[in-house]
Structure 1
Amino acid sequence: MQHGLRLLNIKLCDIPKQVHHLSKRLIFNKTSRNTTFRTMEQQQQGRTTLEGLAASYEQNGYAVLNDFLDADEVQMIRNETTRLIREESRSHANKLQVFGNEFNMKSRYFLDSSDKICYFFEKSAVNLETLELQMPEEQSLAKIAHALHSLNPIFKKVTTSDKIKQVFKAIDFTEPTVVQSMVIFKNPNVGGAYTPHQDASFIYAEPLHVAGIWLALDDATIENGCLEFIPGSHKWPLARRFVRTDNTKDGDDLLEWTAPVANYDESKFVKVPIKRGGLVLIHGLVVHRSAENRSDKSRWAYTFHAYDKAKSRYSDKNWLQINVNDTFMPVYAN
């Protein structure tokens, strides 16, 4: 997860089953807006099985599933993302707003983004004095967040597809409940780095059953900032949390860290390149990061995070909360 760990960004807010029961060796394939299915054996050779995925997740705290999305599925997500940028991102904005720790922690916009589709821009793409973009909008975005999975039909379809359900079942999630979702862009030459972190710092549940799913919409390479992990670090304790304060006024300290940033041995990080269409499963406690993108290739990804509602309680101190009359989105029920 990559929230306020790195860059500044500008924000704009957009407020706004076909289900086939098959065995866990089935995957979802998309043609136009319809859903079809084919067996895992029909995927390219070398793909990790769901059993292997679960074993790697248990051992290392992360796991890779190649070719999880086919070319049509990836293009569907990319097309919808482009549509949102072109048709929605500026139409609901009253101003461009910088995103990053020093801004997020004082921003009602960020605090209240759980039930909205919001647009965040890279610091390096913005004139911070005038809050004007210094390059085309599509090249300036850092991410779109945090309710794509519940508000947008395309992203909801992806997030609740049968094969996503099979991934959660493979790691014994009884009631996976999605808290937030993002498209992260890491656009060429401006995509910022994300410092080492544990996703449970942001999405904490007791006892801890939290996982992230990260879908590559581009090839993620060493040059454009692929994910990096410390294998086995999911067995370490949670270093710190990102929580709400009692303040409510925009401009006050609305959020805070419960401890200073942790120091990690640089030599322990393992780079994990992955091809477009691949899936990375991320344990809530595994330490991970990604470098800045100074290449000429983008590194788009769609990612979302869930906790197991049947086994744990979502903390009311977490930065991301929903309105009292709303609920987070269950995966299996959709």
Structure 2
Amino acid sequence: MSTMETAPTLENRRTVPRILSDEQVAFFVENGYLVLERLVTDTEVEELRRDTAHLARGGYPCENLQPLPAELTDDEALRRILCIHQPHFISPVIEKYVKHEKICGALSQITAAHLPFWDGSVKCMQSMLFVKPPTFQGQAWHQDEIYIPTRDRSLIGAWIALDDATIENGCLWVIPGSHKAGYLYPQRKHDEAEEYDFAPQSYGFDESLAVPVEVPVGSVVFFNGYLLHKSLKNRSEVYRRVLVSHYMNAWSLLPWSVKDGESVATADRRNVIPVAGADPYAWKGYDNPPSNVWLRTCKATEELKRTDEPSE
């Protein structure tokens, strides 16, 4: 067998602590989500909050987040941002929390717990830093697997609350068990621009089964990529800051896109970070991420821009 085809060995595994009970793993498999309250310490939360402001102020070299004037307050810097996509591309602090030992320990137990031969290996492909100031919209019903396809239904989000998440400030809502069929619901445009951002909404299910996921700061919510979930507009006077990263079974290919001459069956994007166990495809190497991020705006963002424009 060639070097490229050599299976990973125990020597190149990244070990992480196993922190979940069998009951917690079973709850996740059955319901599609799991809450671990205050898994992230107050000190860690404060570090992430500081880095959120640093990112918003253009503190890292980045085309889409240019440096802001020193006299601008952190609040003024933050109040325009709904979400920063892929902040770990430019922030070593965010990358550190993508690899957070306890979070990755839980991931190594639940990411692909539905697969009988899974060895606990996990990789990360995305981070999203939601700022969600007061009046900013949420996102309508959707399933993350629509946007990040996996080969084995192992997509999972790890959602770190940097503020208390409440109904008033736009916490997550989920439909427990909606992941089990492995069905991707159709999507359509919505007509609720005051409530939700531009993303389409999934439909064709019983919304009355939804439950809010209110959690204290420092909690981590794990949810399967097929789980139906949404968030509502922030109707409070405080931010609802969240760092959510997406992971999957390291043994699954990541067909996020298909390049010219590439087969759908073998498409596998390599801009990933192994966070637990081994990466069986490490022989392929890894793509270098761009030194940039992408910003998600919403109606509230555009309204703020208009109010700052000089009048004639």
Task: Say whether residues 1:59 and 2:4 are aligned partners.
Answer: no
The match for 1:5 is none
Asked if the contact 2:16/2:102 (under 8 Å) is kept, the reply is no
- Residue 32 of structure 2 aligns with an amino acid whose one-letter code is G
Quick one: which of 105, 109, 115 aligns to 1:170? Answer: 109
Quick one: which of 143, 164, 185 aligns to 1:239? Answer: 185
Asked if the contact 2:98/2:127 (under 8 Å) is kept, the reply is no
Q: Distance in 1 between matches of 2:179 and 2:77?
A: 37
Aligned-residue sequence identity (percent) comes to 29
User: How far has the Cα of 1:185 moved from its partner?
Assistant: 1.4
For 1:1-40, list aligned pairs within 5 A: 23-25=17-19
Quick one: which of 139, 154, 158 aligns to 2:97? Answer: 158
The structure whose Rg is larger is 2
For 1:147-296, list aligned pairs within 5 A: 148-171=87-110, 173=112, 174-189=120-135, 191-236=136-181, 237-240=183-186, 261-296=202-237
* Structure 1 residues 291 and 23: CA distance shift in structure 2, 3 A: closer
Quick one: which of 87, 101, 108 aligns to 2:58? Answer: 87
User: How far has the Cα of 1:90 moved from its partner?
Assistant: 9.8
Task: Say whether residues 1:142 and 2:82 are aligned partners.
Answer: yes
Q: Distance in 1 between matches of 2:102 and 2:123?
A: 16
Q: Which runs of 5+ in 2 are unaligned?
A: 1-13, 67-74, 113-119, 189-198, 260-267, 280-312
Q: Distance in 2 between matches of 1:67 and 1:151?
A: 26
Q: Distance in 1 between matches of 2:137 and 2:122?
A: 30
* Structure 1 residues 330 and 57: CA distance shift in structure 2, 3 A: same
Higher relative contact order (CA 8 A, sep 6+): 2
- Residue 157 of structure 2 aligns with an amino acid whose one-letter code is G
* Structure 1 residues 140 and 330: CA distance shift in structure 2, 3 A: same
Q: Distance in 2 between matches of 1:140 and 1:200?
A: 28
* Structure 1 residues 215 and 172: CA distance shift in structure 2, 3 A: closer
Asked if the contact 1:202/1:318 (under 8 Å) is kept, the reply is no
Q: Distance in 2 between matches of 1:138 and 1:22?
A: 34
SS at match of 1:194: coil
Q: Distance in 2 between matches of 1:65 and 1:71?
A: 15
- Residue 140 of structure 1 aligns with an amino acid whose one-letter code is R
- Residue 328 of structure 1 aligns with an amino acid whose one-letter code is V
User: How far has the Cα of 1:21 moved from its partner?
Assistant: 6.4
Q: Distance in 2 between matches of 1:260 and 1:79?
A: 33
User: How far has the Cα of 1:149 moved from its partner?
Assistant: 3.0
How many pairs are equivalent?
A: 231
Asked if the contact 1:53/1:64 (under 8 Å) is kept, the reply is no
User: How far has the Cα of 1:303 moved from its partner?
Assistant: 0.3
User: How far has the Cα of 1:154 moved from its partner?
Assistant: 1.0
Please list the CA deviations of residues 50-74 of structure 1 after superposition, one character each: whole Å capped at 9, or x if unmatched. Answer: 4443222111111100011110010
Asked if the contact 1:61/1:231 (under 8 Å) is kept, the reply is yes
- Residue 74 of structure 1 aligns with an amino acid whose one-letter code is V
* Structure 1 residues 275 and 224: CA distance shift in structure 2, 3 A: same
Asked if the contact 1:201/1:240 (under 8 Å) is kept, the reply is no
User: How far has the Cα of 1:315 moved from its partner?
Assistant: 1.6
Q: Distance in 1 between matches of 2:149 and 2:248?
A: 8
The match for 2:310 is none
Please list the CA deviations of residues 285-319 of structure 1 after superposition, one character each: whole Å capped at 9, or x if unmatched. Answer: 01000111121121100001012121x22124489
Q: Please report the TM-score for the alignment, with normalisation by the length of structure 2.
A: 0.66
Asked if the contact 2:82/2:132 (under 8 Å) is kept, the reply is yes
* Structure 1 residues 325 and 308: CA distance shift in structure 2, 3 A: closer
User: How far has the Cα of 1:234 moved from its partner?
Assistant: 0.6
SS at match of 1:213: strand
